[in-house]
Structure 1
Amino acid sequence: MSLPPLPDMILDPLVRSALMEDLGTYGDLTTRTVIPEGTRYTARLCAREPGVVSGMQIARMAFHMVDPSLVLTQHKVDGDPITPGDVLMEISGPAASILSAERVALNFAGRLSGVATMTAAFVAETRGTDTRITCTRKTTPGLRLVEKQAVLHGGGFNHRFSLSDAILVKDNHIAAAGGIRPVLQAIKGQASHMVRVEIEVDTLDQLAEVLGEGGADVVLLDNMDTPTLREAVAMTAGRLVLEASGNMKLERIAEVAATGVDYISSGALTHSVSTLDLGLDF
């Protein structure tokens, strides 16, 4: 999926912190020791397995942050499908600069391409339905913004970015507040009209209570089997947005999408991905 890039200024602190972590207190000791001054090369960032690319914007920033004189030729952009051997980017200039930025660029690009690739696999299982795949807040600390952007690159959608984005009432909120009815009454009495409200239910009886009470925009159907999800869709009859969540593994996505739920959320998109194998070769 082709998307406008994020403003570089938003990503700058993230990339700068990663480079500082990798360069340490003295810079790239190996490169400073063994690479003759003035050595120039062209390196290629290549795919070693198929997938969907993400993190090219950050890779570009990492190289340019180390050395603005590096010349980058980008052949693939975030959201592009890739196959083994595809050249994603060429980097030309001082060899020392390329080597010093290499690991940070590859760490981001490999990790985020893994997120985009898994998301694309989930999305593929929803073909023929109107169900959308969305992520959760189960992200790597500090990387939420870019991991959620990678979900978009894979064709998915974003859930809330933080606790302040929306009201999402979970089972523990319901228990602490004394039940679904007190929760929804409190929301109707206090929440801004600009804030969307989602509430989690575990049973059809709880769903019926939410439908009767009103005050919610979205219902999260948590850990329901497929027949129960189908019944929940019939009960709701389009009155509320329905999100299926819990144990949403790839092999189950097609049958859940066929129930007619609006969204399927999966933490696996960001917490259980494998880094896509990318390499940089001179």
Structure 2
Amino acid sequence: MELQNTPTPYSNKCIKFSNRKPRILITNDDGILSPGIQAAAEAVADLGELLIIAPDRQQTAMGRSFPRQANQGIIKEVALTLNGKKRVAYSIIGSPAYAVAHGVLEMTKRKPDLCISGINYGENLGLLLTCSGTLGAAMEANSHRIPALAFSREAEVSQHLLSDYPKLSWEKEKSVVRFWTEKVLKEGMIKESSILNINIPREIQAKEDFRITRQASENYFEFIPPNKRDLDTPYELKSQRIIPENRLNKNSDIYVFAIENKISVTPLTWDFSI
């Protein structure tokens, strides 16, 4: 099936509102103090009632895990400045998926209408999706029947796990978040998807410069084999970016993102079976 930008095949499952604004849950896996979550919140602050809750610290690559840890579930108020105004957000000791679960079950009387996860430092493409805390948070929201948008931006591999967040410009990324949030609130999700995985290249020209893609069946990052070492000594595997251009489908997320340098928008569903 050929995938094209227009007309975009949106489902008729649009998000319906009466005389109220939508409630938008905003989360991430980089931590509540990440500039990425602030950028996402600023991009949509006037579109709905925001509930911002995220892990209290860096939680990259946690997937949709629910690890047990000391002081798990402690929630604290955090003051974020969004577009010059102070807003209440919440940090939680727990994984990205835990943050979403507590946000939905404990921090609001009205179930959110939409979840935004991100904006993540580092792209989430191909077989990496199951590792991603950004996607894990989106999946947890969707398990509560909440449609979700997962946003990731291109970043150096060395920046993916940092808690000392690199200073970057977020204006183009914010325009992408705004564009897709407005589109989904108005038109519904693409096809029969319940999650959109949206990856933003470093050098995009416009928010409209996107393609609807399929998830590549290839790794985008791979671990580097360690040199000979003392197995009793702690060691963290290093990763490197892999772009197997000759094996990539030209409609795949990796190809569109890495080769065509366009925003990749991948509609996802829960059905992993064939």
TM class by smaller structure: under 0.3
Higher percent of residues as helix: 1
Looking at CA atoms only, which structure, 1 or 2, has the larger radius of gyration? Answer: 1
Instruction: State the TM-score, normalizing by the size of structure 2.
Output: 0.26
Higher percent of residues as strand: 2
